[in-house]
Structure 1
Amino acid sequence: MADRFIDQDETQIYGPHTSKHIRTWLIGLVKQYDPALEYVANQIDASTAAVKVAIDAARAKDAERRKGTLGKAPLLKAAKKLLGQFSLHLAVHDQGAVDRKVFFTKDGTATSVGAAVQEVLLVVKHIATMLAEPKSPVRDAAHWKARFEATAKALAPMAAAVEDARVERRSLTPEVEAARQVWLKVYCSAKPLVESLLRQVGRVEQMSLVFHDLAVPAGAKVKAPPTDAPAAPLTR
């Protein structure tokens, strides 16, 4: 059985394992193979490094987005608090005087507002707009309108930063996959060469020692290189 899907993180295990053992076990067995073996080992190393660059860029953008969101968490918390306070303010009006769903459109409650900054900002801006209506039935509408407008202004940069990071992260995801596909082409193209050499020296059964994915059960997630491989180079 062999690993049928090699993900981007597994390239960082399989790639170095294979290039290392091509150099330490295979080069020198049949000198005519050596230039080709050195070439594929270098190609594996280069494509493995390219995948890592793409992964690191994607994860750095994720970390930046999380840091930006956490750094401005008090703003989001304050906005949610304002929504709760406004909901309580609506509750003191005479029954039927105010249609709560005009402000909290999902179910008339502040708890229906999502947790994401974009969701909160949308509701804050909507309430500010509704409070601007000349015949608003809400007591002290001007006061609440000013508070919601100020909150919307404060939240807007935070929402924009989160969205920018998300868009850029999505644009990096295809880059990771493209790098992985190049790596797969290089890695898989090395197998026939190594198999040919091992057949020459009568050790084809040792393919899985060089290409660890051949020894991994299908569907398994590999998190570390094997530790039980023989230390001595393959010999005739």
Structure 2
Amino acid sequence: MADKFIDQDETQIYGPYASRHIRARLLGIIPAYDPALHYVTDRIDAATATMAAAVSAAREKDADRRKGAQGKAPILKGAKQLLGKFSQHLSGHDPGSVDRKVFFPKDGTARGAGSSAQDVLLAVLHVAARLEDPKSPVRDAAHWRERFDAAAKALASVVAFAEDARVERQSLTPEVEAARQAWLNGYQSAKALVESLLRQLGRLEQMPLFFHDLNVPSGARVTEAPPDPPQTLTAPEEDETEEA
């Protein structure tokens, strides 16, 4: 049973294996096929290199995204802590002197503001805007406004980064898949050509010598190239001479 799904990493095994064995075992067997064999093997090599570059770029960007997200985490944590401290500050005012829902509209608590970067940014911006009121009953309102303004500027970069990362994740997967599909097209066209040649030789059963995926059970995942098989091919004329 053949491998029915070749993933992006397996292309780096199946591709070089096929092009190497086609060149080593089939060139010169039927000379009329040689130009086409050169063409399909060159195409496999080019598509394999393109696939490798696409996967590498995707993984580098994903690594950068994770690194960047880790670097932004303290900013988000600091903004949440600021909201919590401000909530505690409000609790220290005389009862009824400050309407908590002016600053935390959902339920009057910092927790109710949410925990995502975007939710926290909106909460910080809202508090900062309310503290700009010169008639604000909050003690040390100017001090808190400065802190919230600074937090909003820092947190805005976190939200922008998260949005950029989301767009990148959406765009990278199609790019890698497009490269994989291009590789599969070249690989399948090489299979068709080799099948034609082997039919001329009466050796169709030797297809797995050139396309290792035909040796791999469906659902299995290949992580390394197999050893080279020992079989060799001869031209039909040589077979006829040996039989005579």
Q: TM-score range, shorter-chain basis?
A: 0.7 to 0.9
C-alpha distance 226-102 of structure 1, shift in aligned 2 (>3 A): farther
Tell me the equivalent position of 1:113: 114
Match of 2:124, as an amino acid? V
- Which deviates further from its counterpart, 100-109 or 179-188? 100-109
Match of 2:233, as an amino acid? T
Select the structure of larger CA radius of gyration.
2
Partner Cα separation in structure 1 for residue 232 and residue 84 of structure 2 = 71
C-alpha distance 73-182 of structure 1, shift in aligned 2 (>3 A): same
- Which deviates further from its counterpart, 37-46 or 97-106? 97-106
C-alpha distance 185-110 of structure 1, shift in aligned 2 (>3 A): same
Structure 1 unmatched runs, 5+:
none
SS at 1:125 equivalent:
helix
Partner Cα separation in structure 2 for residue 173 and residue 138 of structure 1 = 50
How large is the RMSD of aligned CA atoms in angstroms?
A: 3.0
Matches within 5 A, 1:20-169: 20-93=20-93, 98-99=99-100, 103=104, 105=106, 108-110=109-111, 113-115=114-116, 117-132=117-132, 138-169=138-169
- The question of whether the paired residues in 1 share the 8 Å contact of 2:102 and 2:130 is answered with no
CA shift for structure 1 position 186: 0.9
Residues 176-214 of structure 1 deviation map (CA, whole Å, 9 limit, x = unaligned)? 222222111111111111112222333322222321222
- The question of whether the paired residues in 1 share the 8 Å contact of 2:11 and 2:48 is answered with yes
Partner Cα separation in structure 2 for residue 182 and residue 122 of structure 1 = 44
- The question of whether the paired residues in 1 share the 8 Å contact of 2:113 and 2:120 is answered with no
CA shift for structure 1 position 45: 0.6
Tell me the equivalent position of 2:237: none
Task: Say whether residues 1:10 and 2:5 are aligned partners.
Answer: no
SS at 1:21 equivalent:
helix
SS at 1:234 equivalent:
coil
CA shift for structure 1 position 11: 1.7
SS at 1:40 equivalent:
helix
- The question of whether the paired residues in 1 share the 8 Å contact of 2:113 and 2:123 is answered with no
Match of 1:65, as an amino acid? R
Structure 2 unmatched runs, 5+:
235-244
Partner Cα separation in structure 2 for residue 99 and residue 218 of structure 1 = 62
Residues 111-141 of structure 1 deviation map (CA, whole Å, 9 limit, x = unaligned)? 86335x4443233223323444566565444
| Percentage of identical aligned residues | 60
Tell me the equivalent position of 2:233: 235
CA shift for structure 1 position 224: 2.5
CA shift for structure 1 position 74: 3.4
Match of 1:151, as an amino acid? A
Residues 34-57 of structure 1 deviation map (CA, whole Å, 9 limit, x = unaligned)? 221121110001111112222222
- The question of whether the paired residues in 1 share the 8 Å contact of 2:58 and 2:172 is answered with yes
